Structure 1
Amino acid sequence: MPPLTEAALRVAVTKVDLTAAVRFEQEFHAAWQEAVQTDCTVPMHTFLYRWGMFVALRRYPSRAARLDELERAVGRATDREEARASSAELAALLGEAASEVSG
């Protein structure tokens, strides 16, 4: 897992999903602008955490594929139990990624 810095995350995002790199740049500039305007670092911390999670979830192809499968399963669920089961597994996947990001 790369450190939660703008430079390290930029490289990691480019490696795991080249098309997301454009969104990364747009969001980086928006967060920077908001941080400057509000004289607050929260927008930058939020940006770094969000993209850290993105990298953690997608840096392993099998994890990225499972994430996509679970998101589709939740969207297609026809009953509450099916949705709960997929949501629980999705929550566990997010928890693993959050642990990696938090270091």
Structure 2
Amino acid sequence: MSAHSVEHGDEPIIERPERAISALRQALARVAPSKLPLMESERDEVLTLAAATQSVGPVNGFLLRWAMVVEIERHPATARRLHEAERLVRAASDEESMRSAARTAADIKAAARRAVGE
């Protein structure tokens, strides 16, 4: 199976949410509740930065990042593959294993980015 697509049989456990803070927060609460504190902390930082710079760029980046996280986490097998690849990147004892795992993680994230429309 290509790392560029969702695995066959890896049906989403929730519908893809709108790209809005409240919708993404609600979706994250269902698919990866342990990540909520990080999302909320980042949200506060991003909103402060957006106000200070008078730019919506930081907010758009935040929404894209968390839309991608939800996209991955709503597909359990894909999420497991990403988490395993990230673990292997940290634990790899040789450069080739580390690079292979990093490519897998990057491919999964790129597919999620395409899926959410960015």
- Normalised to the residue count of structure 2, the TM-score between the two structures is 0.77
For residues 98 and 39 of structure 2, the distance between their equivalents in structure 1, rounded to whole angstroms, comes to 30
Equivalent residue, structure 2, for 1:70 = 85
Structure with larger RCO (C-alpha < 8 A, sep 6+): 2
Q: Structure 2 residue aligned with 1:6, among 13, 18, 21?
A: 21
Equivalent residue, structure 1, for 2:76 = 61
Equivalent residue, structure 1, for 2:65 = 50
Letter in 2 for 1:11: Q
SS in 2 for 1:102: coil
> What CA RMSD, in Å, does the superposition of the two structures yield over aligned residues?
1.6
Letter in 2 for 1:98: R
Equivalent residue, structure 2, for 1:22 = 37
In the alignment, structure 1 segments of 5+ residues that lack a partner are none
Superposition deviation, residue 11 in structure 1: 0.8
In the alignment, structure 2 segments of 5+ residues that lack a partner are 1-15
For residues 47 and 3 of structure 1, the distance between their equivalents in structure 2, rounded to whole angstroms, comes to 14
Superposition deviation, residue 55 in structure 1: 0.7
| Contact 2:82-2:104 within 8 A present in 1 as well | no
Superposition deviation, residue 40 in structure 1: 0.8
Letter in 1 for 2:76: P
- Normalised to the residue count of structure 1, the TM-score between the two structures is 0.87
Superposition deviation, residue 26 in structure 1: 2.2
Superposition deviation, residue 20 in structure 1: 1.7
More helix per residue: 1
Superposition deviation, residue 18 in structure 1: 1.5
Sequence identity percentage: 32
